[in-house]
A and B are shown apart, each in its own frame.
Chain A
Amino acid sequence: MRLIARFAKEKDTYFEIITVYDTKIAKERINKITPVLVSIAKEHPSATWFERKIRDDFGIEILYNNDKRPLVKHEHFPSDIFPMRKSFNKLSVTHTEGIIDTLEDEQGLLIGPIHPYHLEASQFQLFEQNNDILHFESMPFFKYRAIEKMVEGLSLEEAKPIIERISGSSSIAYQLNYLDIQLQASRRILPKNLQEQHIFFLEFENLINHLYDLAIMCQFVDFVEGYSFFMKLVEEGRETISLITGHRFGFGAIDLEKYTMDTKEAYHFISVVEDELLWFEKWIQKRTSLWKKLVNRGTLTKEEAISFGLVGLVARSVNLDIDRRVDNKLYRNHCFSIAQEGMGDSSSRFKIRLTEVHSSLKMMRCVIESKVLPFFLGTYQDGEYFSYIESSSGELMMYIELVDSKIERFFVRDPSFLNAQALSRCIKNNEMDSLGLILKSIPLSFSANDL
């Protein structure tokens, strides 16, 4: 069983722990007087972060999880405040002076929040010796905005602009996840042509993200021509998606009242990328200096990927067939196939991105001419709703509980939440010079991870 997410919510007389696997959803009740939860981290190592978050959010103690460090609450956050409890409704907390951990070991380094490896503020802890990385760890929630708490009590309409800004580069994936929940809550099914239009937007976003990651990977291996090539396409992509959706990141793109699309610009862009890629891929096939720098960097084994429950192209780079798109009938109708590689290193992740760029282009071509008519959502019914979608980084899972048409509990598990936990395995024993490449080869969004 693959662990997808584990989170808590508060009820009147108990806490409920929801554990989502690929085959089932398990629920257990924890009493409120002495809340204790038995860890599942031994069977599912990725449960560690989920359980540390549960402890910080709700003050539920975790039994048999050796990692007692806080995850969400930083050093100066009062230890007796559990912000996701319903009784906590303050808009500010008095932060304690707190002792900020410093590394005493001469080999230890705290990297970030600003560093050349990643655009977003994030912090990493790293130990190195003779240019070899001995230990590496990501320290999340560095720019915690408390979005789960922020949307509690809001209606689905009120929360929408917040959800679409959780992660700028995955905005369309988040919007579609959210729309799926709105559809479930209103007991509606989206017409086929509208679904196809949404596939077009999602694949467009995936395409831009892959092209961007390829550019940055080229930059880290000093392949300036590759960087220049991909970045030109990224900029053209952003301009085109802006013409189609009205926004360079697709904010507000999933709007059921907008139903026209400038297909001429889209066709032009698709053709340009297809032509350019054909030539570029032929050229780099023989460029051994590029592949030498990618091969055996940041290697993950299939066993590690399974044990950490990794998703997206990181999982697919070790031949795992994890991709939510295969569950979608429309993708299957258009002969969508999963891109897989077997080496589990940076070269595999580079190749998968190239293959996925092609499959995104193919899907976009297949669905571009969908004629869309207006569609309206009905009244929302209270209940619990789960939604899954494949973003460019991997499987994105969202949960909403509606009570009296307001959000009672919101939880989202970005693919980065799982994949960031595997960074330590991936980076350990590599050379310091490869750090930037490996970090960029794994799609991570800290804004989505830190919520």
Chain B
Amino acid sequence: MVNLIQNKVNRKRALKPPIQDGEILRLHRLLKKEIKRKFGSRLKLYILDTGSCNACELELQALFTPLYNIQKLGVEVVYEIGEADLLVITGILTENIYPLCLETYQALKEPRYLITIGDCPLFEAPFKDTFAIKGDIPSHFFVNFKITGCPPNPREILLGLLKFLQKI
């Protein structure tokens, strides 16, 4: 009995959510409203890394951790492009992944929404051109919104998502 109670206490301590400050709470409120208006309460993201250093992916993943907790707002990551509402691209557009990127974009359901995260997709990070790099994403695909930064932090991504939703 004592063990059961102790386990319950431990579980509660491990799951205790961190304190969300006013900025996160405000962004949450606005995002929830926009997601509901534009996508009927659920926004499905397909994240495609076309050549990143993985920092942008880690910042995107931070949105799904207890502090930012955006799954609570109805945002989820899908692994089938056909299910996605929004294609999120991180990284430099590399030659190796370009055919897959094109295929992925074409498989995105209409209306096609694409946002870029970070400076790499715009080719504004400190990398230099090589034969292995195709170029910047906006030269090859229509981009609805660009969230810049190297990498943008989770708050900047949240704000960018909100601006994208308000724009469409």
Contacts and interface: CB of A to CB of B under 8 A. Distances in A.
Contact of A234 (B65, B91, B125): B65
A165 B53 contact: yes
A446 B65 CA distance: 22
B132 to A, nearest CB: 4
B133 A235 contact: no
Contact of A165 (B50, B99, B126): B126
A447 B94 CA distance: 12
Interface residues of B, number: 48
B160 interface: no
Contacts of A165: 53, 55, 125-127, 150
Given A91-B130, A113-B97, A283-B10, A121 B55 contact: no
B97 A228 contact: no
Contacts of B67: 232, 235
Contact of A150 (B55, B100, B128): B128
Contacts of A167: 53-54
Contacts of A212: 58
A143 B91 contact: yes
B51 interface: yes
B143 interface: no
Nearest to A247: B150
Interface residues of A, number: 58
Given A119-B61, A283-B10, A146 B55 contact: no
A430 interface: no
B14 A235 contact: no
Interface string A80-119: 0001000010111101000000000000000001111001
Contacts of A93: 95, 131
Interface in B66-102: 66-67, 79, 91-92, 94-97, 99-100
A325 interface: no
A121 B15 contact: no
Contact of A116 (B54, B79, B91, B151): B79
Given A142-B97, A145-B92, A150-B130, A169 B51 contact: no
A149 B14 CA distance: 47
A119 B57 contact: yes
Contacts of B61: 119
B153 interface: yes
A162 B132 contact: no
Nearest to A143: B51
Nearest to B13: A279
B65 A231 contact: yes
A246 to B, nearest CB: 12
Interface in B134-156: 150-151, 153
B11 interface: yes
B54 A447 contact: yes
Contacts of A83: 131-132
Nearest to B150: A251
A225 B96 CA distance: 39
Nearest to B93: A143
A169 B55 contact: yes
26 contacts: A76-B99, A83-B131, A91-B130, A113-B100, A115-B79, A121-B91, A142-B97, A143-B94, A143-B96, A144-B95, A144-B96, A144-B132, A145-B130, A146-B130, A149-B130, A165-B125, A228-B15, A231-B66, A235-B65, A242-B153, A248-B59, A249-B58, A251-B150, A279-B10, A283-B10, A445-B54
Given A114-B49, A251-B55, A283-B10, 20 more contacts: A91-B129, A92-B131, A113-B49, A113-B97, A114-B47, A120-B52, A141-B96, A143-B96, A144-B96, A144-B132, A149-B132, A162-B128, A165-B126, A165-B150, A167-B53, A168-B53, A225-B10, A236-B18, A447-B51, A447-B54
